Amino acid sequence: MVTVGIIGAGRIGKVHVESICTKVPNAQVKILADPFMNDETAAWAKAKGVQHTTKDYKEVLADPEIQAVLICSSTNTHASISIEAIEAGKHVFCEKPIDLEVAKIKEVIAALEKHPVKYQVGFNRRFDHNYAAVQKAVADGKIGDVHIVKIASRDPAPPSMDYVKVSGGIFLDMMIHDFDMARFLSGSDAEEVYAEGAVLVDPAIGEAGDVDTAVVTMKMANGAIAVIDNSRKAVYGYDQRAEVFGSKGMAASGNDSASTVQISNEDGVTGEKPLYFFLERYMEAYATEIKGFVNAIENDTETPVTIMDGLKPVVMGLAAKKSLAEHRPVKISELM
């Protein structure tokens, strides 16, 4: 049994409390920490089986019974708390991104070189049953050499402006998952990135200095071409699809929906909309990624998503931002 502490009781922190307490039998949450901890959240956590709540995350790091820490706090704290936890000898699961700056992520890498604990980054889509099946088909050679990777990721509604202003932008907040997917599905790193973006959903997003609609093309090291499109608003729901085309065929995944029922009548053929948002679509994936993290601790194996897997999508996102600003392809080597 691995005893964990969770730092951050916002939406994603609560997701991990829920998944560990109900779906990960070889882990238990001892402490949930958040500077804004209130009676309501504390009561909710206790009802889920969490032993203790606190406003001070350092209680998690100081507790000798805590073996692993899940960092679910605000992005600007991920790197610094990672280093504190590593130096305290705790295994670390850190939500994406580790940081928005390459230099700060490299500081975490340096800390791991001195204190070789387990470190996993929270790219949960790798553990989704659809994406995992596509990746397995590619890895098993069923589609031959990879030629084209296409990823569509569209949210049902734009986030709040308060969130947009601190998110790091569409490339480092939303598309970062798709950059990870491009690497995961192609089995290759990106070498060059070209981005186009526009404000087509909400003018306020443009006023905040971001775009809400973007397309990125990438040259991968294995010769494949990857294409990602993102939109902050798809009126029909959470649109999450991927396709890998190769020399021997194609593997593609569609959206999950509440049912596969189609109604056919004189008005046409209709079916369910995609599941509305990421909590509905990926709840099982959140549990599966934590199972992978816990298994790595118990069996002393490498985590399924390493710190280098956390670094590279950030570099890809920074390259996309630079490409959009400078209207040119940007090589990954420029930012590494």
Nearest of 318, 326, 330, 324 to residue 198 by alpha carbon: 324
pLDDT digits (tens, 9 = 90+) for 68-119: 999 999 999 999 999 999 999 999 999 999 999 999 999 999 999 999 999 9
Question: May I ask the CATH class of domain 126-277+313-334?
Answer: alpha beta
Contact assessment for residue 309 and residue 183, using Cβ atoms and an 8 Å cutoff:
yes
Residue type, 9: A
pLDDT digits (tens, 9 = 90+) for 10-57: 999 999 999 999 999 999 999 999 999 999 999 999 999 999 999 999
pLDDT digits (tens, 9 = 90+) for 210-268: 999 999 999 999 999 999 999 999 999 999 999 999 999 999 999 999 888 999 999 99
pTM: 0.95
The conformation of residue 71, written as its DSSP 8-state character, comes to: E
The conformation of residue 160, written as its DSSP 8-state character, comes to: P
Residue type, 290: I
The sign of the torsion formed by the CA atoms of 139, 284, 182, 73 equals negative
Nearest of 86, 94, 78 to residue 110 by alpha carbon: 86
Strands (E), 2-106: 2-7, 27-33, 52-54, 68-71, 91-95
Residue identified by tokens 């606190």 is 54
Strand partners, 7: 33, 71
**In the chain, where the domains are located:** 2-117, 126-277+313-334
pLDDT digits (tens, 9 = 90+) for 119-178: 999 999 999 999 999 999 999 999 999 999 999 999 999 999 988 988 899 999 999 999
What average pLDDT does the structure give for the chain?
96
Identify the architecture of domain 2-117 in CATH. Answer: 3-Layer(aba) Sandwich (3.40)
Spatial separation of the C-alpha atoms in residues 201 and 160, rounded to whole Å: 13
